[in-house]
Amino acid sequence: MESDISNNIVKCPICRQPMILAGHANYSNRSSQYKTPMYQCSPCDIFYRVVDDAVMIDHYYAVSYVQKEYESWYYDSRINFFEFILVLALKYAKANSKEQTQQLSLVDFGSSFGHLLELAKTKEIKAIGVELNEDCLLSCKQKGLTVYKDIKEIPEKVDIITTIDSLYCVPNCREILAEMKNALKTDGILVVRITNRNLYAKFMKRYVYKGDLSTIGDAIISHSLKSLKKLFALTGFQLLKVIPDHGKGKRLSFKKNVYYLLGYILTLLTAKRFIITPGIIVIAKPNTRV
């Protein structure tokens, strides 16, 4: 993404137009706590965090979901959700595939400890991971999983790519989506799960925290359904399905369960014209007309 911080010019990673400074948000790595500037592109409906690359990479060694001591907890809390994601992916991949008898192949972008990969293998799917964190990458390889550090290293095109809460980690989202399209077969399927916090963050910033956007979490780019639609159009994907994430398959605290349920009820009350759930799952395929 193009930026010139010295001149206070930061360009949107989607539309490439200048963004405005919207506030700040908490961020951390293994040694420090930060307040990072947050920029906003209203036409694309994203917030973008400006942070040094080295700090960003170190952050993804510091978060709890990559710590070995928490692996069992994360497995128990997410494995049923991964099952739900795989069922969705298989349904759309089989419906879209031109060759029904072949073994399906899958890439999980941001595979962490490889739990989704292990589950995919039990379903006789050829499973491949992409993981930047070298500790998680090594852990996966010790389990006998095939994992690469870069999606461009994958030697063959695949039927399914999943990216679960990983797309918001990358600042170069257009380039990553283009690489995903290149890694997919022409009849392949992309499954993306993103957090959906922008509306909530705008409300909290204006009425509660006065400029603080920390409710966005640790996202580099806080996406929305609108931003994904723009990304898909620019990178050659066709949107197939939008699913409000209402917590199915997740082991959540009582407070989070209420949060998910309330968001889902509000979404249903709008006849799904507005997705207010804390997360969104979208399914897309390469647009062969592009």
Residue 19 pLDDT exceeds 80: yes
Mean pLDDT is lowest, of 75-79, 92-96, 278-282, for 92-96
Question: At 251, which CATH number?
Answer: 3.40.50.150
Nearest one of 55, 47, 58 to 13, comparing CA atoms:
47
Six token digits for residue 118: 């292990």
Provide the mean pLDDT of the chain.
92
Longest dimension (CA), the chain: 57
Average pLDDT over residues 24-41: 93
Cα–Cα separations (whole angstroms), residue 135 to 164, 203, 243: 19, 37, 32
- What's the pLDDT score for residue 102? 74
Residue 180 pLDDT exceeds 60: yes
- What's the pLDDT score for residue 6? 46
- What's the pLDDT score for residue 7? 57
Average pLDDT over residues 10-20: 96
- What's the pLDDT score for residue 233? 95
Who wins on pLDDT, 209 or 261?
261
Cα–Cα separations (whole angstroms), residue 178 to 183, 190, 286, 287: 9, 12, 10, 12
* Domain interval for residue 273: 3-286
Residue 1 pLDDT exceeds 50: no
Quote the number of domains for the chain.
1
Q: Considering the chain, what percentage of its residues have pLDDT values greater than 70?
A: 96
Task: Collect all residues with Cβ–Cβ distance below 8 Å to 273 and sequence separation of at least 6.
Answer: none
Tens digits of per-residue pLDDT, 133-179?
999 999 999 999 999 999 999 999 999 999 999 999 999 999 999 99
Tens digits of per-residue pLDDT, 87-110?
999 999 988 877 765 789 999 999
